[in-house]
Amino acid sequence: MKQNNVIEFAIPGEFKDQLTEILRQGAQRLIFEAVEAEFSLFLEGHDRERLGDGRQRIVRHGHLPERKVVTGMGAIPVRVPRSRDRKAGKDGENIRFTSQLLPPYIRRSQSIESAIPYLYLKGISSGDFTDVMPVLFGRDVVGFSADTVLRLRQQWKEDLQQWDRRRLDKKHYVYLWADGVYFQAPMEHEKQCMLVIIGATPEGKKELVGFTDGYRESTQSWSELLLDLKSRGLCIPPELAIGDGAMGFWAALEKAWPTTHHQRCWVHKTINVLNHFPKSSKSKVTADLHNIWMAESKEDAEKAFALFVSKYRAKYPKATHCLEKDRHKLLTFYDFPAEHWKHIRTTNPIESIFATVKHRTKRSKGCLSRDTAFVMVFKLIKDAEKSWRRLDGKNQLPKLILGVKFSDGCEVIVDNAQAA
């Protein structure tokens, strides 16, 4: 018998391996159980509502027609329970079950929708999505015509406009991280500067606070952003702001919130100082700088600071001047809780987010305009915001709000007798 040596290639969207099929079946089962649990809670909430003859008013009434929801593992069939209100129409009220997990309009998971900004920033045009999406997520992916993508893009633009007008009266941010991020959209000849502010709430949650298209990192651009935040109700000054050496932000901050403390980013400062050293010395110099900002106390940091200056001033005066000019603002973090030091010594909360965005927005072939790139980056940030880690030591934040002082990361206990 002749042996068949034809190799069969997998078709996108068809799952040949058992593991992937098990995962997809497991996902379908989990969705079913979650929606059923949601429906049971709905029925329990109306359990006491009865008709005149004692029968239950709200009852199960089969399921809605099956539909498919596109996920990263392909299209998964789902069925949502349907309720029946036996009193519907008699008093003008009709109680109906609507799943929050699977709303009627949902046809694709957030992970699929989030892929669109990424692909846009990589240079994929609206007309190419019909071909690209099935390759990435399987041939069951439907509904990604050019018109659909354009509608989503318009929706995200409106989301940005609405977000940019939101009221901030009830908001309070203990810490603010600020940075100007540059990237180049495919259709643009100049790099685009996006001014970004992230804040930490009293509960330790990180949120995107400000996001605008700035003209480089000028004082004017930063002032417009900060004053806009204040005009929308953000009037309580943050305890601490963290940023790089761009003078525009600090000048604007002084005008907006003069009582806010300043912390210069150690990552940016290290890079600036290293620029004045030869490559052969950078490893040793980095270790010496590390000894400053990783010291256990401000006193030890000051000693390491003085040692660095005395060690390098003669041969590298520009490097030591670069460090010394921001001496006090580099060590501000010692006056805040030690649990927060790793969060507030640098602008890493912004850098880590935009490292991916910068990678995705490297100059490539495509038709991405400045405005569209801005909207897509906003969409990516808001999606990433859902998974941002809270600050460690969040129990210390209310103390800062109440004016409790910290020294070397520890709370300063005031002797009431001496204070009197």
Q: Give the pLDDT confidence of 83-136 residue by residue, as tens digits.
A: 988 887 666 578 888 887 676 756 555 555 555 565 555 555 555 555 445 544
How far, in Å, are 46, 72, 223 from residue 139 at the CA level?
42, 12, 49
Cα–Cα dist 179/244, whole Å:
7
3-state secondary structure of 102: coil
Counting as low any pLDDT under 70, the low residues of the chain are 1-24, 26-27, 70-75, 89-92, 101, 103, 105-149, 183-191, 215-216, 353-368, 415-420
Amino acid letter at 403?
G
DSSP code for 332:
G
Q: Are strands 410-411 and 406-407 parallel, antiparallel or unpaired?
A: antiparallel
Q: Which residues of 271-395 form beta strands (DSSP E)?
A: none
Cα–Cα dist 331/190, whole Å:
36
> Is the dihedral angle over the CA atoms 111, 116, 122, 124 positive or is it negative?
positive
3-state secondary structure of 406: strand
- Nearest Cα to Cα of residue 246 among 217, 289, 267: 217
For residue 297, give every residue at least 6 positions away whose Cβ sits within 8 Å of its Cβ, in sequence order, or none. Answer: 334, 408
163: tokens are 């977000």
pTM, to two decimals: 0.69
For residue 210, give every residue at least 6 positions away whose Cβ sits within 8 Å of its Cβ, in sequence order, or none. Answer: 195, 196, 197, 225, 226, 228, 229
Measured distance between the N- and C-terminal CA atoms of the chain, rounded to whole angstroms: 103
| φ, ψ dihedrals at 82, nearest 5° | -115, 140
Q: How many CA atoms lie within 13 A of 138 on its CB side?
A: 18
Cα–Cα dist 356/361, whole Å:
9
| pLDDT confidence of residue 381 | 84
| pLDDT confidence of residue 364 | 44
> Which residues does residue 50 pair with via DSSP β-bridges, in sequence order?
56
Cα–Cα dist 10/312, whole Å:
62
| pLDDT confidence of residue 47 | 86
Alpha helices in 275-314 (DSSP H): 282-293, 298-312
